Amino acid sequence: MDEEREMGKIRKIIWYTGSLAGHHGGERLLLEGAKYFEDQGIRTYILTWEFDEKALFDRTYKANIVQLTHRKMEGFILRARNFLLRPLILMKKIKEINPDIIITQTYILDSIPLYFATLFSSVPYITFIHATMFGGFLKSVPEDLTKYTFIFRKHLNEVRKSVVGYEEFILPMRPKSSLKRRVLAELFAIMSYLAVRKAKRVFVLSNQAKWEVKTLYGKDATVLKGAFPSRIFDYEPKEDIKRKLGLIDKQIILNINHLIPKKRVDLCIKAFREISKKSENVFLVIGGTGPDEERLKDLVKRLDLESKVKFVGYIKEKELWDYYACCDVFIHPDTADFDIAPYVALALGKKVVWSTEMEIDEFLVGNKFVFAADPTVNDIATVTEKALTTNLGTMESTEKMKLYHYTWDEYFGEILKELERVL
């Protein structure tokens, strides 16, 4: 270990992720982190196997991205050989860059190559677990068997019953699968367990996730949350979105999400039907794309809401905050204990309806702009209607100041302190 590393000086970081190909919260957090470290004079290399330029949010972010490559192979044996080569490729790149520390932002399969690549290395790594195999149950393949493996299944019922959404989406018994898949799942579970255990620090976004990490991995985690840049508090809308959508003088309920089942956008639509029965002046605007999009559009059609619900698709980065700014209520019944989108809405002074599964920090206790609802059609409808009809004016400066706790500078500033302590 060189003198700089012993002194806790950080000059180079590798941020490793299996894939940087989407434009969701995880990608935004990674890119904001890389930007923060670069601004601190720390050279940051993003290493990934899969890269798509759309992950840069309309080229809003500039980053030093290194796409790791290997020859793609077909067939089980060749794919297995391919998987075994990844640690060697990663090890070579780590040795070439010679970082002071590695940050990893991965899910089950992607953490394994890093574990083996650093097995005999003096370079430490820390890991972000934005969601465990329970909280991230639809962020990987839906048929993921990890939570049903020998090493984790003893906690299955305990964790599953801890969150309403887990019971809603996660099966209590392992789904049918082939012997080969079950054996592979057992092997991957053991290796991913070891990978988390090897991390020098684990960072999570909620106390629920902290408890899950302790329960599943026997590892203590640090809870830190970040959601937006500090400049958001001075933001002035550049475009009148209500005019653009032809909804001048109308009330807008806004939902912006990756359109997948766990986001419960269907619950928004069903609750909106109840609200729209009482008011002709309210519209639901849904932003985002995803595999659930056609099902949601079909639901709108079946409920005869096509004239009241607008799907606006992917919202470009330069328009994103303008959409938030145009709404009267932001609705977010996601099965999650933390999510970036509703915090962005809060920072822009908007009333937010979210599920009671969302964690309320001490900074938000008593904030009148937060409306929590049980994830049911009736409660979401009732609470959203209350939010629509409650006149709160502008958020008080004291409440807005508390939201600074969720700025990227605060978040990554604390991360950097922890990295220095590791060294």
Q: Which residue spans within 60-131 are E strands per DSSP?
A: 65-67, 101-105, 125-128
pLDDT at 137: 53
Instruction: Give burial (CB, 10 Å; 0-12/13-18/19+) of 131.
Output: buried
Q: Kindly tell me if the per-residue pLDDT of 268 is higher than 70.
A: yes
Pick the range with the lowest mean pLDDT from 106-110, 148-152, 168-172, 233-237.
Answer: 106-110
Q: Mind listing the pLDDT tens digit for each residue in 328-371? A: 999 999 988 899 999 999 999 999 999 999 999 998 998 999 99
Indicate the average pLDDT of the chain: 91
pLDDT at 202: 95
Q: How many helices (H) and strands (E) does the chain have?
A: 17, 13
Q: Kindly tell me if the per-residue pLDDT of 4 is higher than 70.
A: no
Q: Mind listing the pLDDT tens digit for each residue in 73-108? A: 555 555 666 677 889 999 999 999 999 999 998 666
pLDDT at 73: 53
Domain layout of the chain by residue ranges: 3-226+408-422, 231-403
Q: What is the DSSP string of 190-202?
A: HHHHHHHHH-S-E
In CATH terms, 231-403 corresponds, of 3.30.930.10, 3.20.10.10, 3.40.50.2000, 3.10.105.10, to 3.40.50.2000
The pTM score is 0.91
Question: Quick check: 331 and 380 in contact, CB under 8 A?
Answer: yes
pLDDT at 225: 96
Q: Mind listing the pLDDT tens digit for each residue in 283-317? A: 999 999 999 999 999 999 999 999 999 999 999 99
| 231-403 and 3-226+408-422 share a CATH fold | yes
Homologous superfamily assigned to 3-226+408-422: Glycogen Phosphorylase B; (3.40.50.2000)
Strand partners, 283: 252
Count CB-CB contacts under 10 A for residue 217.
21
pLDDT at 177: 86
Q: pLDDT band at residue 181, thresholds of 50, 70 and 90?
A: confident
